[in-house]
Amino acid sequence: MGKKSDLKQEYILEQAQRVFAQKGFKDVTMKDIVTACNISRGGIYLYFNNTSEIFEAVLKLRAKTEQNLCTGQAEGTLCAEEQMRHFLNAQKRELLNPADSLIIATYEYLFAHSKVLDKAEMQNNFNHAGSQLRRIIQSGVDNGEFSTDPDAAAQNIVLLLEGLRISSTVLTLDEEFLEQQMEYILSQLKGGLLK
């Protein structure tokens, strides 16, 4: 695809992400996305065949953006604790704005496709989420900022954040509560209690 078509596809994904955040996955139609993009139905079908394809592309784009953010932080001059704070603050922002997140849409998508999803690929995605954290934590262990097992700590943090995401769909999580959770994570990394 050319630069112009790449920009068009990115625009479609940005608009679709907003629609999925508002309506979830199961209630979104191609017409909803066409309307949000203000382009013809054929314009959408040049790039995507259905809402599943669009949602999968949205998730891939978000994962790539998050990975680039983590990689950029890791390559910068931030110490491991600052990198972890940036990561946790990004998670906190998402949790404080559930209307803008894809939490519900993602779970609806997973449940709707559970019979056809490759379990090994799902495990790989889970491991990938932890690998970004593992790199930051390992860096902190190497330079003496953290005292913990990087693998176990990364898995625990991923699971804690996932639990908070699920909770945010039915509970109101305030900033003070989330700040306490994020500080607890940092204290565990420093104290080595997540071994």
Q: Which residue ranges make up each domain of the chain? A: 77-191
pLDDT at 182: 93
What is the reported pLDDT for 120? 64
- Environment class of residue 177 by beta-carbon count within 10 Å: exposed (0-12), middle (13-18) or buried (19+)? middle
CA angle 165/168/170 to nearest 5° reads 130
| 129, 165 Cβ separation under 8 angstroms | no
Q: Taking residues 142-151, what's their average pLDDT?
A: 93
User: Using CA atoms in the order 33, 36, 41, 45, what is the torsion angle rounded to 10 degrees?
Assistant: -50
Contact 144, 127 (CB under 8 A): no
Q: What percent of the chain has pLDDT over 90?
A: 53
Q: Higher-confidence residue: 130 or 32?
A: 32
- What is the pLDDT confidence band of residue 78, given thresholds at 50, 70 and 90? confident
The Cα 80–Cα 78 span in angstroms is 6
Average the pLDDT over 23-41 and give the result.
95
Query: CA-to-CA distance for 9 and 7, rounded, in angstroms?
Result: 5
Report whether pLDDT(157) > 60: yes
CA-angle at 91, arms to 190 and 27, nearest 5°: 150
Mean pLDDT for the chain? 85
| CA separation for the pair 168, 98 (Å, rounded) | 7
> What per-residue confidence (pLDDT) applies to 195?
44
pLDDT for the residue 9: 93
pLDDT at 194 > cutoff 70: no
> In CATH, what class is 77-191?
mainly alpha
